[in-house]
Every structure is written in C-alpha cells, then in structure tokens.
Amino acid sequence: MEKIDTWGDTACDDSTWDDWDVPVHCPVSQVPSFLPAQDDNAHNPDTSSALSHTLEPEPLPLLSWDHLECGDKIGSGQCGVTHLGMLTLDDGRTTEVVVKMLHGGSPLTAEARTLQEVAGAGGAPLLHGVATNPNALVMQYCPGVTLQAMLEEYDLQQCYDAYKATVEAVNCFHTAGFYHQDLHPGNIIINTSVLPYTSHLLDLGYTRRFTGQLVRDDNAKSEDLFCLKQIKDQIDAKHY
Ligand SMILES: Nc1ncnc2c1ncn2[C@@H]1O[C@H](COP(=O)(O)OP(=O)(O)O)[C@@H](O)[C@H]1O
Ligand SMILES: [Mg+2]
C-alpha cells in the first residue's frame, strides 16, 4: 500500500460523565500537555492542515480504486457526497466502508489526517485511507441511524437515550484533545442495535486540537456543548 504524508494519532480514554445533562461550565482541565498549538487555518479544512502539528507527519494510506467499490449514495451535503462502499484489504478480506468525495473533486487530505489523528475518539470512524483519480476519503462504516432521523421518527425515550450516548461521545472527544465545531444531528450516528446506545461523531472537517490556551479552549469546548444543548432542546420540544 502506498503512503502519502500525514500526522500521528491520539487515543480516547473511556471516561464518561456521571450526569448526562450538558454541564453549565466545562473547563478544559484535561487537555494533554503534549498537544501542540493550533493552526489558524480554521474553516477551510481541505486547503490547509486541519490540525496543527509539531511532529513529523505520518503517511496517509493511499488506496487503489482497484480495491474499492462504490455503492449506494448515503449522504449529500454542501461540500460533498458520501457512498457506501466495499474495500478489499491487503489480506483479501472485504469490509464495508464509507467513501466521501467533494463536489469539486478536491482531495480530502485534511479531513483524512484528522480522522487518522482522532483515531476513533468519540466514535469517529477510523480512517482506511485516501484514493486519487477521483479523490476520495475512505473510512469505517458506522452502523446506525442519524440523530436527525431519530428526532423525526423515534420516540422521546429513544431520543433521550441517543442524546445521552452523544454527550458521552463528545466528552470522550474532548478528553482526547479535540473539539468538533460542526455538531448537529446530521453529523451524529446512533447505533441503536446495542444497549445502551452508542454514538458516532462524523464529519470532522472542522475538528481541531485544543491549543492549551485556557480561554480559547474553553470557548471552543463551550461551542460544542452549546450544540448539544440545542439538540437537547429539540428533544424536549417533542414533548409538546
Ligand atoms: N462513516 C460513516 N458511517 C456511516 N454513515 C456515514 C459515515 N460518514 C458519513 N455518513 C453518512 O453520510 C452523511 C453525510 O456525511 P458527512 O460526512 O456529514 O458529509 P457532508 O460533509 O456532506 O455533510 C451523514 O449524515 C451520514 O448519514
Ligand atoms: Mg455533515
């Protein structure tokens, strides 16, 4: 398998919140001290490095389209389109994947680097690699239903259970040293086939590392928590 340049990774710890309501104040007290400063090319994930690094980048796995089949479309947003796919691994086994491509055809190098570095924290999909001609990001398929669909179709208790799982996923993500910046019900998948439900945070194009600067990090964390609060409000509104 060929490689292209990317960065190192980070693991998630398995701490959870006792209380699954969004905390009013959630200081960034657990930011690992090794985290480097953030790069300021925010909000343009695919023309810059999404995460800032002082370490040498690790290579991104470069996948061949010969080993990749693109199936049904499962999502389409402002930036791109996602398909279910099937990837043949080096050992010959096949695995279900999600293939994401941008409308303009640009590479998703920065989002791929982020997925690689986040390394599954917050249930984020693991990166399989990137392909070229056409450019695509290939990631683990996260089974489940979007929180958006749950808000529309599931009952109140199921939505609260999904919310609780999402609070835990966001806590895990933050503890691993990252903030998401684009949390909304379409970017969250809930696996309802397990109890308690588990949550996957998707669409990490705006994800950044905490900087170690307390005020800035607190603000970044608060923005994610505010998004959670908005989701909770949406669920509460189902009462009426
Ligand atoms: N790894 C994944 N596993 C399962 N479904 C996914 C995955 N990634 C994306 N999706 C589906 O595709 C949709 C769009 O993906 P997303 O990364 O949010 O793209 P966009 O940047 O266009 O919003 C999501 O809402 C979700 O339904
Ligand atoms: Mg999205």
Delineate the domains of the chain, giving CATH numbers in brackets.
Answer: 2-9+38-140 (3.30.200.20), 145-239 (1.10.510.10)
Mind listing the pLDDT tens digit for each residue in 36-65? 333 333 334 443 345 555 567 678 999 999
Does the CA dihedral 84-85-89-94 come out positive or negative? positive
Residue type, 226: F
* Tokens standing for residue 186: 């379409």
Residue type, 160: Y
pTM: 0.81
Residue 6's contacts (CB-CB under 8 Å, 6 or more residues apart) are 57, 58, 59, 60, 109, 112, 113, 116
Tell me what pLDDT residue 52 has: 52
- Write out residues with Cβ below 6 Å of ligand 1: 74-75, 77, 79-80, 82, 98, 100, 125, 139-142, 146, 186-187, 189, 202-203
